[in-house]
Amino acid sequence: MNKLLPNEVFGLLKTNIDAHTLGISTISELLRQCGYKTIISNGFISDAVENIRRLNNLSILKNWINENRITRIGFSYRLDPKDGKEYFLELFYQLKNNNLLFEDGGVIKALFFAGLPDTCSLIQRYIKYKIIYFYGDESVNESLLSLGVPSEKLPNDLAADCKYDNDRNNLAKSIIENGEYLNCKPKDHFNYSNFGKKTDSIIERINISRDKNTLPIIRAHVGPYSINKEEAINEFIDWTVQLSKSGYLDVLSIGTSQLTQSNFGEDWQNKPNGGGVPINSPLDYARIWEAARPMLVRTYAGTKDIQNLASIYEKYLYTAWHALSFWWFCELDGRGKNSLLENLKEHFDTIKYIASISKPLEANVSHHFSFRGADDITYILSDYLTAKVAKNKGIKYFILQNMLNTPKYTWGIQDLAKSRVLIKIIKELEDNNFKVIIQTRAGLDYFSPDYEKAKIQLASVTALMDDIEPNNINSPEIIHVVSYSEAVILANPSIIDESVKITINTLDKYRELRKTKKIEDMSFNSNVQYRYDELLEEVKTIISLLENNINNLYTPEGFYKLFRDGILPVPFLIDNENKFPKAKHYQTRIINGSVKTVDIDGNTIPAVKRVKESMNI
């Protein structure tokens, strides 16, 4: 590719319909660390790209390129391959036909595309121009070198090996190559009086399984995509029946479409679906529950009318638990129209409703901060704050979701330390009326598009989950199994079942190896303990600072203030209207496999110091 000069500017494009921004944010930050300027398209530019043939949209894009002196353009699309191919082809031909590419006298020296492998293959059939493709399996160094970054500018602290991770990967490889996992049987979580009935519950299933020594409960996210609404729902019903018969899954999580989350019950007309199952009727939920029995069922929260949707989930799905995202699924991430404060108020009101019907609550929070560059302290703190609100509002069971490998360059020893601190401080809230349920899962962008490698990764992260509380056979109580195919295609029932088999088999094998002392007991790892002590002290100090200086901390207004003032920093936030400049003020960097706040020179800023600065104390 053309030589990368110091003054190059990367323009990173996406469509509004694709809510996946983690990859764009990550590569943007990496390029900035190497000294290059990056510009991420805001909603206005994304809309122009999504509808590039409309009158004036090409002019909007050209002005964006010229005003920002952009010399290289990247486009990301992680949804349906055919749609992704069409969006990119339209963009390419508009750039080509209007002489914007360097070879035609224009300013754009290179193009790169990041998406599913099938999308990349489709584009390659139609375009002979040299496009740089990213499939999702590239290391940091591979990604940056392919973009033309000189080797001397690569961030050294991302390239180091971690012995613990390598040991787990080698063990995982042997498990997958052995193939015994294919004969793995479902765990016995069955045959109690409420099993599969409307009165069944996740709490009863956990308790029964604990008595049988058959934890964890297994959950998976399921959702085929089709342009045709009825075809998509019918296929989902068929998949649901298959999964209920095989018996590997306890909890079916419905992968609903963006339109379902944001416009449920409305006339969708020609609005794009955005991937996922396009459910728009309570009766569709009723059909799914019936097909899913004896599995428990749950689904995404909405992006507006949140309490009303929660009541629909109760009436038609007998939902296993509710999940709320607090700061997210609103104006901050473009997934909803609510302002941040409106969103928080709706969530707090919905918590009261959930508490009134004695259902568990899951906070879908910490990993959304991590997606946007938050440091490890913010990951832990955001979950603690939501757990305390849940307790204050009368929630009896709090499901603590812990997403590992986020970002995917995180080291295992850092994940262990972070997870243990998270569990410790939230479990300190427990009493007779408030219990915490641990749920772990792999990272959203962790898996390779190479299936065999992805299976190894799934086994490896399962071992990591078990090392969080290695001497507690009942931890984690729930595993959200991310299927090994997720980097390529949505998982069908056979892939989901195989992914569960890998998870169960690895868990059993790993526990046996620990019992016979054939692997390191990570309870006593000094590197984990050092980071644990550091994180715990910082988090406890910050909680004390917040509680002593913010009178209305555990209210919508208090949570709004935390975000507005930059106490929960999100440097990768795509803030189109610059409403929250303080939230993006502090930069973060991956340092020895952890995420820390840094100054302009890359030096670590202690978390307590930056919180005091944000609070002006």
Q: What does residue 134 show for φ and ψ, rounded to 5 degrees? A: -120, 120
* Mean pLDDT value of segment 443-466: 94
pLDDT the model gives residue 2: 57
For the segment 193-210, what is each residue's pLDDT rounded down to a tens digit? 999 999 999 999 999 999
The residue extents of the domains of the chain are 9-158, 539-615
Query: Given a cut of 90, is residue 579 above it in pLDDT?
Result: yes
Which stretches within 149-279 are classed as H helix?
163-178, 202-211, 229-246, 258-263
Cβ–Cβ < 8 Å for 259, 268 = yes
Question: Sorting pLDDT into bands at 50, 70 and 90, what band is 161?
Answer: low
pLDDT the model gives residue 159: 52
For the segment 137-158, what is each residue's pLDDT rounded down to a tens digit? 777 778 888 888 887 787 665 5
CATH class of 9-158: alpha beta
* Mean pLDDT value of segment 404-428: 96
pTM for this entry: 0.85
pLDDT the model gives residue 575: 81
Q: Quick one: 432 exposed, middle or buried, by C-beta within 10 A (0-12, 13-18, 19+)?
A: exposed
Beta-sheet pairing, 594-598 with 587-591: antiparallel
pLDDT the model gives residue 20: 65
Beta-sheet pairing, 9-14 with 37-40: parallel
Q: What is the DSSP letter of 205?
A: H
Q: Which of 371, 362, 220, 353 is nearest to 297 (CA)?
A: 220
Query: Given a cut of 70, is residue 276 above it in pLDDT?
Result: yes
Q: Name which residue leads in pLDDT, 270 or 359.
A: 359
Distance CA 340, CA 322 (A): 20
For the segment 78-128, what is each residue's pLDDT rounded down to a tens digit? 888 888 899 999 999 999 999 999 988 999 999 999 888 889 999 998 888
Task: List CB contacts of 394: < 8 A, sequence separation 6 or more.
Answer: 352, 355, 356
Which stretches within 147-201 are classed as H helix?
163-178
Name the CA radius of gyration of the chain, rounded: 24
Task: List CB contacts of 615: < 8 A, sequence separation 6 or more.
Answer: 545, 549, 550, 565, 567
pLDDT the model gives residue 167: 93
pLDDT the model gives residue 601: 79
pLDDT the model gives residue 371: 92
Distance CA 41, CA 27 (A): 14
pLDDT the model gives residue 540: 98
Distance CA 16, CA 611 (A): 33
For the segment 359-392, what is each residue's pLDDT rounded down to a tens digit? 999 999 999 999 999 999 999 999 999 999 999 9
pLDDT the model gives residue 224: 86
* Mean pLDDT value of segment 316-334: 95
Cβ–Cβ < 8 Å for 100, 37 = no
Q: Name which residue leads in pLDDT, 335 or 209.
A: 209
3-state helix vs strand vs coil in the chain, percent to 5: 50, 15, 40
Task: List CB contacts of 174: < 8 A, sequence separation 6 or more.
Answer: none
CB atoms within 10 A of CB 459: 27
User: What residue has token string 């299933």?
Assistant: 205
Q: What is the DSSP string of 357-399?
A: TT--EEE--HHHHHHTT--HHHHHHHHHHHHHHHHHTT-SEEE
pLDDT the model gives residue 160: 54
Task: List CB contacts of 517: < 8 A, sequence separation 6 or more.
Answer: none
